[in-house]
A and B are shown apart, each in its own frame.
Chain A
């Protein structure tokens, strides 16, 4: 009896202390229905060398931190004017100097502090994350780079913050490829997930479309009319090398990478009708997957590579269908509207996002891969199209014409937190969220 009592006590102790002992404590269970936002205080970082004369650096660090944590939808950022300890003067680095009671008094359960050295164009940022409730240092990171790397460093730190709170790394250092006609031609560009650091990828002075990241994030496949015909290209963005991989007669469009990064599912019309084929990376035709009178286009691979969702108008209108990667077991998934397009399989395999026409506008929807649980995520007037998942499946990027021109937006996978990213000329389309980048 005594023994069992001891074992019971030990068991209880383990139950209580295990989150503390193990390093995988999950502060925020994102998928829990009772999920609540975690109150976090972000202080201005201390300028150690005193060379940030205009305060640009500390301001930008604060802005990026606030933006990323806000976009995550997991935190409530505490208004700095409530801080008892002045946000600018607060010292960082020494745990002993932090008066956690001052922070818990204003409701903060977590605290971000840090410092930076800026000298001769070199920027060194030291970041720290504290659990206010447990008066505990959680995470410290040091980043070294140039002034222009500031955003990247903070994005990475925010990834770490998310990892320690949710057990899953953030996607703040990922990028989005898209098409813009701002130059008068349709060219492919890449931006950070928050719209900064735009890079032009193509200069075809033609129509480039459907950029699609390779699974390793080093290449982008796309369609371009550069040589008059819609041909397929693959651009190695690290080596800055571009290859035209397929230029069969007719359409060479809608590339989708297999998860192994060695094959692509594409739409070709060389045999007269737009059908889905499998190509290897050099454009060699491996297999034809569809064979019907209708248009078959926009394939998207399930993360295990075993299934392909695609658009077909074989029943009269464009709808989303699914088949296995051999082109068998074709099933229609969408029935609710007369026009569904742009399917994208989620990275976890649990959802397919698509756009669908309802009441005169296109909206973004998600559904289970069997066609059930259809949910509309956008409600604004103006078309919302071209969804694409973030690599962790927590966010979607898409285009919206709610403000007039088509712009790139991001939102959380449940449709909350919709915001435009970047402000570019012309119209943007075909946004494609990158995988995690090394």
Chain B
């Protein structure tokens, strides 16, 4: 049984088919890229995996269990974290509070213990302190120390993308879904993203599923690549095969 598998995933909105019979498998520790032109169904696939959409047909398996049909928060608790193409941060909250939200499922304080946080020794305070310590290294790893206590809404776009990634990492996921990490970035920043992804994989025990519009970046990073066009899988294989695949070349030339 593979670590993560998608089998015959299909998603229709009314008459529009956004995903058509997509299947792939991801092994533990891989970086798996999904590429495709705009509107090819990449983000729809992520929304199905993280439970935001209920797929029209098909199954999704994570560590041998079927997860399609589960609510988003259940899927998150199984160890799947994600970022969004259009950043979905809690914009009025500070960076650290955004990350602490990533700790939600690892913490336990409820209303009563929260209200009764009367000193350092009370349970809620201890839990808060411990978890803040735990995410500190992520803040340092992603170079967010200077913006730790600033509301994320006022940070530059690139920094917000890093905060979102940090928040997903704070969840200590087994599978990380990264949606367009290099969107809106220049060549230098893209290179930095590539380095960071490799770093993450090396330092954390995390499998990465990557959606990327920028083909070179996606293929360069990946151990395995799936190419979509108009919701249909057109090619799947090792990066070298994909680079030379005629269908892929055609899809991208057509897209301009």
Genuine A/B complex = no
The chain A residues found within 8 Å of chain B, CB to CB, are none
The chain B residues found within 8 Å of chain A, CB to CB, are none
